[in-house]
A and B are shown apart, each in its own frame.
Chain A
């Protein structure tokens, strides 16, 4: 199974990402590597549990109509996920080369996808512009559910939106207003329920933030 041509793409804190091929498909292998410093039983439980969870989230999100990488294989023995390789730059890197109206369209679409995911009880957990791939024809794919969870809590949904807003503020300040507005529109159109509650939650989370002056002066 191990392929000699496997290329290490990224070594993160938790997992290693490899580029590989699998039955003729271009794939990504995400392996949660053992951590020898922690108790072997704990290590195994964490790696297996998270690999299974991420696999379920990926495929369930897809069933909800959210474009995510197709899952090919879950190997609990080595805590590895094999999934479709999505070709394209991240949304983060795509923004500079798009017109403002195109950016608004992309974010409106993204808002719809996130709403559909939330409708079906899935939260992404790390919703940044680095975790959205823009394929040819500006088709979006949402990747990396490694910090995701099954949750229908308003709080968890608010955390998703809050992180995206923070990413827009820190990395895409010149398109902040139109992208955030378009995202909310897309989200509102698809969200089963009152999306104002989620947006209000984002404001509440923001007030709790660590470096917010208004909170400190209380």
Chain B
């Protein structure tokens, strides 16, 4: 029988549902993203959105995959890392479906799902993974049974840095594409703090300094240009160090910021310097989505990684390096 898993994504701004089968086919991927009226994500409002959207999104995901609940082998849900209220909503929905239809429940780590969907679509085995989104910035490589975090942000995520900047200067949301677009019109490279500490990066001081430049009256286009170049440059340096130290020959960019053209361009430059190849996850699977949770769910389910409903607590700070990647151990 074919293994088919319904995946539910619910860690931050997106409620998503998807169906994946063990052949590696994403049979459906339906997502509904909460749009804050102003500012960033309000966790409780986002959770309310997810609660309202859940029934329709899941129904659509099953319809598009052309299956009914009886065809499902298991229900997978991202139980972390993420925002508590959002995670609780997603977990509640998943528990209800699993209990009502008597399906096993599979807890999925959100970061692992981003990694695995990228490996699936790009047909890679052992790349240096560059995971960049609004909430996460990590450089990861697989080693002895686990995904190991080679370097990461010490404070805020790269995506968050650009998002908050865009919001503060009145560009709107989402920030990354807006800052990038504005940066195209920049001509002067200004001075901003470049903060790489060993294998880790720090973005909060950069954000503060960029906003200070803008308030001082520097052209917004120039600030955007400098901010883009410095923030991506820091990331690229750590990626380059990871490639040089691990000797890996592939770089894979994943997460919401994987859509960034400039970051793709810079990382392919890093790859070139070390004779490595560069890949990025396709845009429709780059941001948070249900399809990737379904696929990670298939992998975990096949390795017997299910959880009893009574024990299916959410883990807002669950790191990718805490997950034994049993499906990769054979």
Contact = CB atoms under 8 A, between A and B. Distances in A.
Nearest to B189: A41
Interface in B236-292: 236-237, 240-241, 243-245, 265-270, 272-273
A17 B72 CA distance: 58
Interface stretch (A31-39, A75-83, A95-103, A113-121): A31-39
Nearest to B245: A13
Interface in A1-45: 12-14, 35-39, 41-42, 45
Given A37-B266, A37-B273, A13 B240 contact: yes
B273 A216 contact: no
Contacts of A125: 198
B233 interface: yes
The size class of the interface chain A forms with chain B is 10 to 19
Contacts of B268: 37
A210 interface: yes
B229 interface: yes
B189 A35 contact: no
B149 interface: yes
Given A13-B243, A13-B244, A46-B194, A38 B236 contact: yes
A154 interface: no
A217 to B, nearest CB: 11
A210 B233 contact: no
B233 A38 contact: yes
Nearest to B274: A13
Interface of A: 12-14, 35-39, 41-42, 45-46, 125, 147, 210-211, 216
Contact of A37 (B245, B269, B322): B269
A210 B321 contact: yes
Nearest to B243: A13
B30 interface: no
Nearest to B149: A210
9 contacts: A13-B240, A13-B243, A14-B237, A35-B269, A37-B270, A42-B233, A46-B194, A147-B198, A210-B149
Contacts of B241: 13-14
A211 B319 CA distance: 11
Interface of B: 149, 189, 191, 194, 198, 229-230, 232-233, 236-237, 240-241, 243-245, 265-270, 272-273, 321-322
Contacts of A14: 237, 240-241
Given A37-B266, A39-B233, A45-B194, 15 more contacts: A12-B244, A13-B241, A13-B244, A14-B240, A35-B240, A35-B269, A35-B273, A37-B267, A37-B270, A37-B272, A37-B273, A38-B269, A42-B194, A42-B230, A46-B194
A211 B150 CA distance: 12
A49 B236 CA distance: 18
Contacts of A37: 236, 265-270, 272-273
B189 A39 contact: yes
**Which among A37, A41, A210, A216 has the greatest number of chain B C-beta atoms within 10 A?**
A37
Nearest to A125: B198
